[in-house]
Every structure is written in C-alpha cells, then in structure tokens.
Amino acid sequence: MCRLENDIFKALADPSRRTLLDLLQESDGRTLSELCTHLDMSRFGVMKHLNLLEEAGLIMTRKVSREKLHYLNPVPIRQIYERWVSKYAEPWALQLTAMKSELEREPVMEHKPRHINRIAIRSTPEKVWQALTDPSMTSKYWYNGFIRSEWGIDSPYEILSPEGQVQAKGTIIAFDPPRRLVMSWQLLALAETAEEIPSCLTWEIEPHDEMEGVTLVTVTHDEFELSPHTSRILEGGLPVVLSGMKTLLETGTSLSGG
C-alpha cells in the first residue's frame, strides 16, 4: 500500500476526523470556528485534526478575506473506492451514491457555495493541459465524450458523444495555457439539467511544490445556486473525471481498462 493510501486510512480511522468530513460534506466552505462548535475539544485539537486531513489530501483550504475556509476534497476517497470496491461505474448512476443532495444543503454564513476537487498527477502541466483540451484524450476519461472548441476567450465549446450528440456546452471565460481554464458549463445530457442556467468550472494546473514531476490539478465548480441538479451530478462526477485523467496520463489506459 502506498504512503498516500496509508495517510488516508489513518486520517479516516479517527471518529473526530470523520465527523469533520461529514460536516464538510453537509456544507462546504466552513471556518475553523464553525467546525469547533460541533466537537467537544479545544480549538487547537480541532486544528490538529484538520491539519492531518489536509496532509492526507482529504480537505483543502482557501483564504477568503480574513477567513480560512475548509472544503472537502472527495477525489482521494473516490480513488480508494476505485481500487478496493469497484474498477468502473456507470457515469450517470453516480448521482445515486451522493450522500447529500445539494437541495438539502443550508448555506453557511454568506460564503459562496462551491465544490473543490484536487488530484496529484505524475505528469507535466503541459501534458495535463493537452489531456484537458485534446479531443482524442478527453474521449478516454470524460464519460466517453470528446471536446470541441477553437480555444480562446469567449469561444464556445461542446462535449459530444461518439454519436455526435451534444452532452454539454459552454463558453471559455479565461484561457491561460497551461495554467488556468475557466468555462461556463451547461449539462445537456439529462432532462433535469438541460433547462438549468450554466454554472462555472475553473481548472487550475500547477507543479507540485515538493514532488518533482508531479502536477496538481484543482477543479472548482461554483455559480450553481440556481442549478441544483447540475451541482449534484458534478459533485459525484468530477472526482471520476479527475481519476480518469490521472489514470490516462500515468498508465495510458482508461479507468475501464481500455
């Protein structure tokens, strides 16, 4: 078992840390003070647990004004599931495994709702960017859909099935290869999402500070307040997309073994 998996299992072994993950699953983007109210321990004790979760990659933090917000990162848990439970799952059935519907969430203070996913890939930012924008590569990990675009600010894009049906579409909002891509997102493949207003996906690609040859890929989904069905599906789907990208770049194969 690799060191990262050991760190994940160690982090999940403690009930207080599982409680913190449950709290972030229920409502993401919480401050330390908010999390402390749910645990019978000192502020320092909660900080220690959060640090262990962050070191294992199970949570992420973002500085917003003077506050440090904590977000659940579901990607490592998804990778554990793929290795130990199932090698492949039907993509749109993932919504059945979601622990909470976005419609059941209550907003925390006035923080903007968002889902953040991060994964480490043994590859270069340039190759990750190619995997994100090359139609022949996206078709191997993005639910069998290939992307089509002129790739520039304000350019439209589409994700199409092998039969040519448009599964998703949007507009390129920011384009900074190989570091950052921001795109509006409208999921057309399902009836309940096709009429919702577009949300936003932000891809951030950066070399790992401490591991040579490793690239960190962070995907943030936000602006989904009026798109609850899209939010729920991407909450389960984006970890699979990132895991598929990692598998493709590191092994040359898809999650299904093809």
- What pLDDT does residue 183 have? 97
Mean local confidence (pLDDT), 102-123: 68
CB atoms under 10 Å from CB of 46, counted, come to: 20
The rounded percent of the chain whose pLDDT value lies above 70 is 85
Mean pLDDT is highest, among 32-36, 79-83, 97-101, 182-186, for 182-186
CA 217, 163, 82, 184 torsion-angle sign: positive
- What pLDDT does residue 123 have? 96
Is the pLDDT assigned to residue 227 strictly greater than 50? yes
Left if phi > 0, otherwise alpha if psi is -120 to 50, otherwise beta: which for 148? Answer: beta
| Percent of the chain that is helix, strand, coil (3-state, to 5) | 40, 25, 35
The helix/strand count (H/E) of the chain reads as 9, 9
Which band of pLDDT confidence, cut at 50, 70 and 90, is reported for residue 251? very high
Which band of pLDDT confidence, cut at 50, 70 and 90, is reported for residue 2? low
Radius of gyration, alpha carbons of the chain? 18
CA distance 213 to 250: 11
Secondary structure of residue 161 in the 3-state scheme: coil
Which band of pLDDT confidence, cut at 50, 70 and 90, is reported for residue 8? confident
Instruction: Find the Cα–Cα–Cα–Cα dihedral 43, 44, 47, 48, rounded to 10°.
Output: -140
Is the pLDDT assigned to residue 82 strictly greater than 90? no
